[in-house]
Amino acid sequence: MRIATWNVNSITARLPRLMAWLESTGTDVLCIQETKCSAEQFPYEELRQLGYEAAVNADGRWNGVALLSKVGLEDVVKGLPGGPDYEGAQEPRAISATCGPARVWSVYVPNGREVDHAHYAYKLQWFEALKAAVAEDAAGSRPFAVLGDYNVAPTDDDVWDISVFDGATHVTPAERAALAALRDAGLTDVVPRPLKYDHPFTYWDYRALGFPKNKGMRIDLVYGNEPFAKAVSDAYVDREERKGKGASDHAPVVVDLEV
């Protein structure tokens, strides 16, 4: 089974590329972040024609997550159970479902903005809620993974120049401690480093020639439990999909499982 995660940065803008990518890669399950459309506006029919069921948690603003599956889509849970509100509402940043033999989450972790911003405290609270919500599945015997845009670079090697990030979010000890807490709950980063590239970044800013200069970050992650990790036969960042006109600022991360 091939499972992937991709922050598409607007599914409407990215739909032709998304559909071509799905056809060319034979992906069975795709976790999507940043749909930037409402659930009603989601392109269900176009994706159904390719054989995909879709489950969506989106409200039309800049967030929104989805799951696409060719191998079943059962026991869907929209939202983060016990998750915090921001400005009086729970943002659509999580969705989970059983897809064939595996249970998967698609998550879009809050950005945090700045260390002294309320959104940063919200981000850390969100991570705490995520850890609590996934603990039972992480400890189970079924393959289980949380895939998505974590908005945290796990190590200094996961950013193009750590000195540029001095005092900034995405690399702070508290954010990295939140990732460590997920690992303590029974999850591990299943995408090895190095891969094909010395620095397998997953995100490059559109500005200042970020991608051509490889000024990137590895913030799109696949955290799986032991049964999931043991089933991984291959994993890669599809850097080619970041190239060309109309690309998202994130590349897909792909994991193959023998299940």
**Cα angle for residues 20, 22, 26 (degrees, 5° grid):** 125
- Residues making up the binding site: 7, 34, 149, 151, 249-250
Cβ-based neighbours of 228, under 8 Å, separated by 6 or more? 102, 143, 144, 145, 190, 257
* pLDDT above 90 for 199: no
How many alpha carbons lie under 13 Å from residue 150 in its C-beta half-sphere?
Answer: 29
Predicted confidence (pLDDT) at residue 202 exceeds the cutoff of 60: yes
Span 136-163, mean pLDDT?
96
Per-residue confidence (pLDDT) for residue 59, from 0 to 100: 94
The dihedrals phi and psi of 183, each to the nearest 5 degrees, come to -65, -40
| Integer Cα distance of 56 and 46 in angstroms | 15
Can you give the residue range of the structural domain that contains 50? 2-257
Q: How confident is the model at residue 193 (pLDDT cuts 50, 70, 90)?
A: low
Angle at 194 between CA 193 and CA 200, to 5 degrees: 90
Query: In this model, does residue 131 exceed pLDDT 80?
Result: yes
The pLDDT of residue 82 is above 60: yes
Confidence band, pLDDT 50/70/90 cuts, at residue 194: low
The pLDDT, as a whole number, for residue 192 is 73
pLDDT confidence of 62, banded at 50, 70, 90? confident
What φ, ψ does residue 133 adopt, rounded to 5°? Answer: -70, -30
Least confident residue range of 58-62, 162-166, 176-180, 245-249 = 58-62
Closest CA to 184 of 102, 127, 122, 105: 127
Q: Which residues pair with 31 in a beta bridge?
A: 5, 67
By percentage, how much of the chain surpasses pLDDT 70? Answer: 97
- Residue 198 pLDDT exceeds 80: no
**How confident is the model at residue 172, as a pLDDT?**
98
Annotated binding site for Mg(2+): 7, 34, 149, 151, 249-250
Q: For residue 196, what are its two tokens?
A: 């094909």
Segment 49-62 mean pLDDT:
95
Catalytic-labelled residue, pool 28, 149, 158, 220: 149
pTM comes to 0.97
Average pLDDT over the chain, rounded to an integer: 95
β-strands 144-149, 102-108 pairing: parallel
- Are 53 and 17 in contact, with CB atoms under 8 Å apart? no
The pLDDT of 15-37, averaged and rounded, is 98
What is the band of 81 on the pLDDT scale with cuts at 50, 70, 90? Answer: very high
Both tokens assigned to 128: 């705490």
Find the helix packing angle between 173-184 and 118-138, rounded to 10°. Answer: 10
Domain count, the chain: 1
Mean pLDDT confidence for 210-214 = 94
The reply to whether 117 belongs to the active site is no
The whole-number pLDDT of residue 61 equals: 83
Q: Which entry of 28, 52, 108, 220 is annotated as an active-site residue?
A: 108
209 phi and psi, to 5 degrees? 55, 40
Residue 180 is predicted with a pLDDT of 96
**Average pLDDT score over residue span 68-85:** 98
Is residue 196 scored above 60 in pLDDT?
no
Secondary element (H or E) of residue 12: helix 11-25
Q: What's the rounded mean pLDDT across residues 179-202? A: 83
CA distances from 232 to 2, 93, 148, 192, 226 (A): 10, 26, 17, 11, 10
Q: What are phi and psi of 215, to 5 degrees?
A: -90, 80
Catalytic residue at 198? Answer: no
- Domain of 159: which CATH number? 3.60.10.10
Q: What does the pLDDT read at residue 200? A: 81
- Is 108 marked active-site? yes
